[in-house]
């Protein structure tokens, strides 16, 4: 039996977290992928989860504008740990240009299921399956 793909979803807005959770589970289900989505409500929680789940996370999907530690900080930490990151933002100017160059993608809100699916699939297709 294969282990689920682990994703870290980071957003301080509960409605957006729910929406992104549903999109990610739908995308993975359509592709026949088992998924476990870990949730962080802010960048500080995200950094703790990246440290805890290092080696298990397939990728991080993070908002940019958040309290405590913003998405740029989350991205820097994920990049240092060799974890692909997708930054989602309604204000692309908030993304640090050096961070943007090292991210897998910066996707602008609002985005559609198809737009997010295309980004996520490029990551999922490159993930080797781990046997449990």
> What value does the CA radius of gyration of the chain take, rounded to a whole number of Å?
14
pLDDT digits (tens, 9 = 90+) for 73-127: 999 999 999 999 999 999 988 999 989 899 999 999 999 889 999 999 998 877 6
69 pLDDT more than 80: yes
Task: Provide the residue ranges of all domains of the chain, joining segments of one domain with +.
Answer: 5-124
Residue 90: the pLDDT is 92
Residue 132: the pLDDT is 47
Q: Which fold has domain 5-124?
A: Rossmann fold (3.40.50)
- Comparing CA positions, the residue from 129, 28, 30 lying closest to residue 9 is 28
Considering only residues 98 and 50, tell me which one the structure prediction assigns the higher pLDDT.
Answer: 50
Judged by DSSP in three states, 63 sits in: strand
pLDDT digits (tens, 9 = 90+) for 17-38: 999 999 999 999 988 889 999 9
Kind and range of the H or E run holding 40: strand 35-40
Angle between helices 14-30 and 113-124 (to 10 degrees): 60
- Could you tell me the two tokens for 13? 């807005």
Identify whether the C-beta of residue 78 lies closer than 8 Å to the C-beta of residue 60: yes
131 pLDDT more than 70: no
């Amino acid at each position: 039996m294969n282990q689920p793909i682990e994703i870290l979803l980071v957003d301080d807005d509960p409605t957006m977290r729910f929406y992104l959770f549903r999109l990610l589970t739908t995308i993975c289900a359509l592709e026949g992928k088992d998924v476990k989505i870990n949730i962080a409500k802010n960048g500080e929680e995200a950094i703790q989860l990246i440290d805890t789940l290092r080696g298990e996370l397939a990728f991080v999907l993070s908002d940019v504008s958040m309290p405590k530690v913003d998405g740029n900080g989350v991205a820097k930490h994920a990049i240092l740990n060799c974890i692909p990151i997708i930054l989602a933002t309604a204000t692309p100017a908030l993304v640090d240009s050096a961070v943007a160059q090292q991210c897998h993608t910066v996707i602008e809100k609002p985005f559609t299921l198809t737009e997010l699916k295309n980004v996520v699939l490029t990551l999922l297709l490159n993930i080797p399956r781990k046997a449990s």
